[in-house]
Amino acid sequence: MENSEKPVVSNFIRTIIDRDLESGKHKKIVTRFPPEPNGYLHIGHAKSICLNFGLARDYGGVCHLRFDDTNPIKEDLEYVQSIMEDVRWLGFDWGDNLFYASDYFEQLYEFAEMLIQKGLAFVCDLCQEEIREYRGTLTVPGKNSPWRERSIEENLDLFRRMRAGEFEEGEKSLRAKIDMASPNLNMRDPVIYRIKKAEHHRTGEKWVIYPMYDYTHSLSDAIECITHSLCTLEFEDHRPLYEWCLHNLPVPSYPQQIEFARLNLSHTVMSKRMLLDLVKNNVVQGWDDPRMPTIAGMRRRGFPPAAIRDFADRIGVAKASSLVDFELLQFCVREDLNQNAKRVMAVLDPILLTIENYPENSFEEFEAINNPEDPDAGTRMIPFGKQLYIEREDFAEEPPKGWFRLSPGAEVRLKHAYYVTCKEVIKDAQGKITEIICTHDPQSRGGSTPDKRRVKGTIHWVSAAHAADAEVRLYEQLFTLADMSEMEEGKAPEDYMNPESLKVLTHCKIEPSLASAEKGERFQFLRQGYFCADLDHSPEKPVFNRIVTLKDGWARQQRKQ
RNA sequence: UGGGAUGUCGUCUAACGGUAGGACAGCGGACUCUGGAUCCGUACGUGGGGGUUCAAAUCCUCCCAUCCCAGCCA
């Protein structure tokens, strides 16, 4: 991936790493991105991916991709594959460092026997509900399990029989022996192994007991010699247990867990459960619906991966919970696309414009610059004729104050082509404008005149004889509520659905060259926004997604009045 | 009312006892064959009260607010 020329902004994690490197605690850093393969990755994960892989890159260390696959009933190979695709698409490479917690199951099992040998773990016969009762509450200490004082021999025997499949799910569990009176509920003899007679996507039916997250994660980090184990704030309370595991077992290294605030983005949700509900209830059209904050959705929408990386850099990393404005992401997307997207002309809501003094059945071509920000992008030829389509919005029969575009008697520039002046407006029986009659100034060919007269308005157009029809999908924010954590009691995200989040336009007129766009190819539709050829796009049936609009100074000015 | 954390412009984030800075959003202007881009200018902040200090966002103290935790999920 390309080097970023932007200065790196310091954050508390970099401060810790700087200190550890300076003190000699570590020579090289090792981080990891540890997803559970139970769903699709979203922009919140992208923050974590950019953080972990970015630190490894900046400090000359490495970052592992490790699947935290300890709960077979929720996990699936489909998710493993989508996660790898998403990480790669974002521009990161884990090289040989692909790991699975399930690869450590045997080692983890041996560690568990060691805990039993040390009297630090016991097999408990309490059922799930009883465990909950014995755990106490936030303010009331828990009670010891009646099975807490079993002998080491008995525990070992029972645990081995758990592994052998002699007990049913829920019948027994292995628990760490810590402190039922701890004010930290995670330390009240947490379950570290449970029986699950489920097929695992990688280990098949080899195991009927599976280790729990806290136990697995700390030890996996240690096994991989992770130096800095970055996770989100809700695991702060788990850190004592993370450290308990490391301190009580002969691990090869002592990773440091550091917590940071997860990303919240305005007008969307980040919880896997809520996203799953949107998909299941057909509120959106799938995990890759362009409105989804999933990486797959953003990819389909047309967000460039570099823009997402830039976004991750700009939001920074800190410990305070925050809600980032969606506008910042849009800014990053525009900034990338302004540099990189080819300019083309497309008319979303066409109205016919006829140039009465232009010869019948005569056509010519104009050379158009592909990208004024990038001379290397070259030029292309665009056809022009007597009849054109222009944007209905670019004509006003009674123009408001400050209007630069077309109106009766007014002259505007057709981008790259001629100046035209509106002479007449033709309407149907309902009073709807069906055609605009203009004259052009032949002297203005190419977009300027010998007399150098100024024309304020420049509008886009396509030749009616050459245009292709296209479907264009306009996307906006998924929800009307900015801070979705403020949803009312009993309401679901879909109750806040933005009715304008998807608008499908079916008879848009596009430059002929656009029909042959590649799927995923991004363009600026002049004066309107950035668009990308959708997965559904084909030369016979062009389909474009609006990635993001252009900033609209006119609209802003209108809003103020 | 147990424990863990966090409060800096509207938003995100720097500053680590020494001029509160940047970015987005906003506002004003210049320029423009995209009302885009670009450029210039501008406003806006340390949750509150005490204290230590020549000097406090930073240290101490009390208060307030917000977030997280009672899965055999991660």
Any idea what the CATH number is for the domain that residue A149 is in?
Answer: 3.90.800.10
pLDDT surpasses 90 at A7: no
Mean pLDDT of A125-151: 97
pLDDT at A546: 98
Mean pLDDT of A319-329: 97
Q: Tokens for A245?
A: 């595991």
pLDDT surpasses 90 at A27: yes
Instruction: Note whether A147 and A182 are within 8 A (CB).
Output: no
Q: Are residues A288 and A381 both part of a single domain?
A: no
Distance CA A440, CA A388 (A): 12
Whether the CB of A19 is less than 7 Å away from nucleic strand B comes out as no
pLDDT surpasses 70 at A224: yes
Q: Say if A18 falls within a structural domain.
A: no
pLDDT surpasses 70 at A6: no
Task: Report ipTM for this prediction.
Answer: 0.97
Whether the CB of A450 is less than 7 Å away from nucleic strand B comes out as no
CA-CA distances (angstroms) from residue A463 to A388, A472, A473?
4, 18, 22
Please tell me the pTM assigned to this model: 0.96
Q: Tokens for A221?
A: 């980090």
Q: Are residues A187 and A132 both part of a single domain?
A: yes
Q: Say if A180 falls within a structural domain.
A: yes
Q: Are residues A305 and A362 both part of a single domain?
A: no
Q: Are residues A188 and A330 both part of a single domain?
A: no
Distance CA A477, CA A481 (A): 10
Q: Are residues A353 and A327 both part of a single domain?
A: no
User: What is the band of A4 on the pLDDT scale with cuts at 50, 70, 90?
Assistant: very low
Q: Are residues A279 and A382 both part of a single domain?
A: no
pLDDT digits (tens, 9 = 90+) for A167-198: 999 999 999 999 999 999 999 999 999 999 99
pLDDT surpasses 80 at A2: no
Distance CA A394, CA A378 (A): 28
pLDDT at A561: 73
Positions on chain B within 7 A of a protein C-beta: 1-8, 10-16, 21-28, 33-38, 66-74
Q: Are residues A440 and A354 both part of a single domain?
A: yes
Mean pLDDT of A544-551: 98
Q: Does residue A300 carry a catalytic annotation? A: no
pLDDT at A357: 96
pLDDT digits (tens, 9 = 90+) for A423-451: 999 999 999 999 999 999 999 999 989 99
pLDDT digits (tens, 9 = 90+) for A468-519: 999 999 999 999 999 999 999 889 999 999 999 999 999 999 999 899 999 9
Instruction: Note whether A67 and A24 are within 8 A (CB).
Output: no
Report the 10 Å Cβ neighbour count for A431. 6
Whether the CB of A181 is less than 7 Å away from nucleic strand B comes out as no
Which of A's residues 114-133 have CB atoms within 7 A of nucleic strand B? 124, 126-128, 131-132
Q: Is A354 exposed, middle or buried (0-12, 13-18, 19+ CB in 10 A)?
A: middle
Q: Say if A71 falls within a structural domain.
A: no
Number of domains in chain A: 3
Q: Are residues A175 and A200 both part of a single domain?
A: yes
CA-CA distances (angstroms) from residue A514 to A65, A342, A505?
39, 11, 16
Q: Say if A423 falls within a structural domain.
A: yes
Lowest-pLDDT choice from A87-91, A329-333, A431-435, A556-560:
A556-560
Report strand pairing: A62-67 vs A98-100: parallel
Report strand pairing: A191-195 vs A209-211: antiparallel
pLDDT surpasses 50 at A3: no
Whether the CB of A325 is less than 7 Å away from nucleic strand B comes out as yes
Distance CA A171, CA A523 (A): 60
DSSP secondary structure string for all residues of A236-248: GGGHHHHHHHHHT
Mean pLDDT of A228-255: 98
Distance CA A483, CA A265 (A): 8
Q: Are residues A160 and A194 both part of a single domain?
A: yes
Q: Say if A15 falls within a structural domain.
A: no
Which of these is catalytic: A74, A148, A262, A445? A262
* Structural domain harbouring A427: 346-460
Which of these is catalytic: A239, A272, A299, A522? A272
Q: Say if A403 falls within a structural domain.
A: yes
What does the mean pLDDT of chain A come to? 96
pLDDT at A560: 78
Using C1' positions and the CA of A554, the closest nucleotide is: B35
pLDDT surpasses 60 at A111: yes
Using C1' positions and the CA of A414, the closest nucleotide is: B33
Q: Are residues A408 and A483 both part of a single domain?
A: no
- A350 CA to B68 C1' in angstroms comes to 53
Q: Phi and psi for A201 in degrees, rounded to 5?
A: -65, -15
Whether the CB of A393 is less than 7 Å away from nucleic strand B comes out as no
- A13 CA to B47 C1' in angstroms comes to 25
Mean pLDDT of A332-342: 98
pLDDT surpasses 50 at A464: yes
What's the CATH code of the domain at A406?
2.40.240.10
